[in-house]
Amino acid sequence: MDIYQKSNPKECEKMGKKRKRERGSIHPRNKYSDNPPDFGVLASLYPSFQPYVIYSREGKPRIDWKDFNATRELTRVLLLHDHSITWWIPDGQLCPTVPNRSNYIHWIEDLLSSDIIPNSQEGNNVIKGFDIGTGANCIYPLLGASLLGWSFVGTDVTDVALEWAERNVKNNPQISDLIEIRKVDFEEELTEKDMKNGDKNYHGPPILVGVVKSGESFDFCMCNPPFFETMEESGLNPNTSCGGTLAEMVCPGGEQAFITRIIEDSVQLQQSFRWYTSMVGKKSNLKSLIGKLREVGVSVVKTTEFVQGQTCRWGVAWSFVSPSKKIISSHVASKNVLTFMLQGIQRHFSAFHVLQSIESFFHTNGATCKLNAASFHIDIHVAMSNCKEILKDIDFVDQSNDLQFRITVFEQIPGTLLIRGSLKPGETSVPGLLSSIFQKLEDKLRNSFCPQKLSNRDHV
C-alpha cells in the first residue's frame, strides 16, 4: 500500500528514465518496512480517521493526498497507534509523514553505531541530538526519544512553531524530559519579498553558531531544510498537500544556501558535533554540497538515498572527527547493485581503456577475470584472501563463499561513463563488502582517468 507523498516528481521521473536499477528502499529497521499502515484497520480503530478513507472498486482503502486534513489525521493516528505519541499541529503548518521521517532517524542510528569515527562521548549513554528547525510538528525529537531514548534540543524561530512544539512535548510526559525546545533569537520578520530578492546567500536566522551554547556537545544534528527559493516552487506538485509555512519551506538560495550555512557553522563548531547531517531534496544539489565539504576539510562525508513509494530524498552527513580504522559491520545493509559515474574523461581514453584498467585492478590483486569486449563487461571471481589484499585498511568478517560479480561499462555521453557492479544471481556477501571493493575501484579509476574530479559517492 503506497502511503507516501510524491515529492520532487520531475527529479524522480528523471532518475527512473536515466537508469532502471535497484533503488533504495525503506530502512530495514523502520517499523513500516514489512507492515505498511493499513488504512482500513486504522479507520476501524480511530473513528476520526474514518471520514478520510476512500475505497476503490476493488475495496482497497486510500486517502486523498491533496487534503491537508487527511494527511494530518493520518500522521496523528500513526504516531498514537504505533508510537504512543499524542500529537497535533494547527492548519497550515508542515505535516510530516511518519515512515519517511523514521528512515532519517534510523540512518543516523547507523552512523552513530558504524565505528566510522570514534565515540568522543564515552561514559555518557544518552545520545544527544540537535534538530534544526524542529517546527510545530517536532517530529524528529518525538520519534528519536520514543524509538531510541535519545535526548534532543529542537530549535525554531516562529512563535507558532515554538508554542506547538512545546505542546507536543508536554503532551507526552513519558519522553518530555528528553526534549528541550529552544527559541532562536531573530528580530527580522520573514516575508515573501525577502525570498524573491534573487540573493543566493543565506541571510536568515542563526542556525548553529549563536544557538549552540558554549561548552555544549552533541552526537549529531539533523535538519529538514527549506527546500525551495519561492512559495510558488514549493507548490509545483498538485498531487499532495502537506502544508508548510514560509519559514519552513522557503529561503533565499533554497536548500543549497541553507545547508551551505550549516557547513560554514560546522567549520566554526568543529567537534562540538560528532556528525552533522541534513536531508537534501534535490539530487542535483548533492554534488556541489559535497564539493564544499571537501573544500573545508572535513574528515568524513557520507550520503544516502531515502526512497519510499514515489518520494525521493537524500541525506548528507559529515564530521571533523578523525576516522577510525574502517570496519565493515553486519548492521550495514547489503547492496547487490552499485554504480558510479566517471566524468571528464580525456578524449584519448575510451570505454575499452577503462574496461582494461578494471581488469588490471582485480588481476593485480589475485582475482580471476573474464573480459567480454563485445558486451563491455568483466566477470570477476574474488577469493576472501583477494578481498583482504584489496581492502588492506578495512576489517571484515570472513565468509565461506568466494565473491562473484560482474562489472559493466556504459557510455553515457562523450567523456562520461557509467560503471555498474552487480552480484551474480543467487550470490550473497558480507554486508558492505561489495560496496567497499567498489569504492576502492572507483578511487583507482578516478585517479587514472579523471584525477581532477573529486569522488562524490560515499555511502553508509
Would you say residue 390 has pLDDT above 90?
Answer: no
Q: What is the mean pLDDT of residues 149-156?
A: 97
Q: What is the mean pLDDT of residues 84-97?
A: 93
Q: How confident is the model at residue 375 (pLDDT cuts 50, 70, 90)?
A: confident
Contacts of 94 (CB under 8 A, 6+ apart): 135, 136, 137, 242, 243, 244, 245, 248, 249
Q: Which residue has the cell 480503530?
A: 45
Lowest mean pLDDT among 59-73, 205-219, 442-456: 442-456
Closest to 421 measured CA to CA, from 437, 408, 431: 408
Would you say residue 411 has pLDDT above 90?
Answer: no
pLDDT of residue 369: 94
Mean of the per-residue pLDDT values of the chain: 81
- Coil/strand/helix, residue 301: strand
User: Is 81:99 a contact under the CB 8 Å cutoff?
Assistant: no
Beta bridge pairs of residue 409: 419
Residue 275 CA from chain centroid, whole number = 13
Q: CA–CA distance from 135 to each of 163, 195, 206, 306, 372 (Å)?
A: 10, 19, 15, 21, 55
Q: What is the DSSP letter of 50?
A: G
Grid cell locating 420: 555498474
Q: 385 or 42: which carries more pLDDT confidence? A: 42
Q: What is the mean pLDDT of residues 260-285?
A: 94
- Coil/strand/helix, residue 308: strand
Contacts of 41 (CB under 8 A, 6+ apart): none
Would you say residue 175 has pLDDT above 90?
Answer: yes
pLDDT of residue 121: 58
Beta bridge pairs of residue 382: 403
Closest to 139 measured CA to CA, from 163, 160, 168: 168
Residue type, 398: D
Length of the chain: 460
| Interatomic CA distance for residues 33 and 19, integer angstroms | 24
DSSP string covering 174-227, please? TTGGGEEEEEPP--SPP-HHHHTS---S--SS--STTTSPTT--EEEEEE----
Q: What percent of the chain has pLDDT over 70?
A: 75
Lowest mean pLDDT among 122-136, 168-182, 238-252, 417-431: 238-252
Lowest mean pLDDT among 74-88, 159-173, 232-246, 286-300: 232-246
pLDDT of residue 333: 46
Q: 10 or 133: which carries more pLDDT confidence? A: 133
Task: Name the range with the highest mean pLDDT among 3-12, 43-52, 112-121, 422-431.
Answer: 43-52
pLDDT of residue 342: 84
Grid cell locating 64: 486523498
Would you say residue 155 has pLDDT above 80?
Answer: yes
Would you say residue 349 has pLDDT above 60?
Answer: yes
- Coil/strand/helix, residue 242: coil
Angle at 114 between CA 207 and CA 423, to 5 degrees: 115
pLDDT of residue 186: 78
pLDDT of residue 439: 85
- Angle, helix 68-83 to helix 98-113, in steps of 10 degrees: 50
Q: What is the mean pLDDT of residues 255-279?
A: 95
| Interatomic CA distance for residues 32 and 109, integer angstroms | 17
User: Is 287:276 a contact under the CB 8 Å cutoff?
Assistant: no
Would you say residue 20 has pLDDT above 50?
Answer: no
Q: 329 or 411: which carries more pLDDT confidence? A: 411
Rounded to 10 degrees, the C-alpha dihedral 382/386/387/391 comes to: -140
Contacts of 263 (CB under 8 A, 6+ apart): 276, 289, 292, 293, 296, 318
pLDDT of residue 309: 59
Lowest mean pLDDT among 18-27, 101-110, 251-260, 273-282: 18-27
| Interatomic CA distance for residues 336 and 429, integer angstroms | 9
Lowest mean pLDDT among 121-125, 127-131, 250-254, 452-456: 452-456
Closest to 323 measured CA to CA, from 389, 271, 278, 264: 271
Lowest mean pLDDT among 125-129, 146-150, 209-213, 249-253: 249-253
**Single pTM value for the model:** 0.66
| Interatomic CA distance for residues 436 and 394, integer angstroms | 9
Q: H or E stretch including 411? A: strand 403-413
- Coil/strand/helix, residue 105: helix
Would you say residue 330 has pLDDT above 70?
Answer: no
Q: How confident is the model at residue 331 (pLDDT cuts 50, 70, 90)?
A: very low
| Interatomic CA distance for residues 164 and 153, integer angstroms | 15
What does the buried/exposed string (b/e) look like for 279-315 if buried means 16 or more CB atoms within 10 Å of the residue's CB? bbbbbebbeebbeebeeeebebbbbbbbbbbbbbbbb
Q: How confident is the model at residue 384 (pLDDT cuts 50, 70, 90)?
A: confident
pLDDT of residue 394: 61
Would you say residue 8 has pLDDT above 90?
Answer: no
**Phi then psi dihedrals of residue 276, to 5 deg:** -105, 130
**Phi then psi dihedrals of residue 301, to 5 deg:** -130, 135
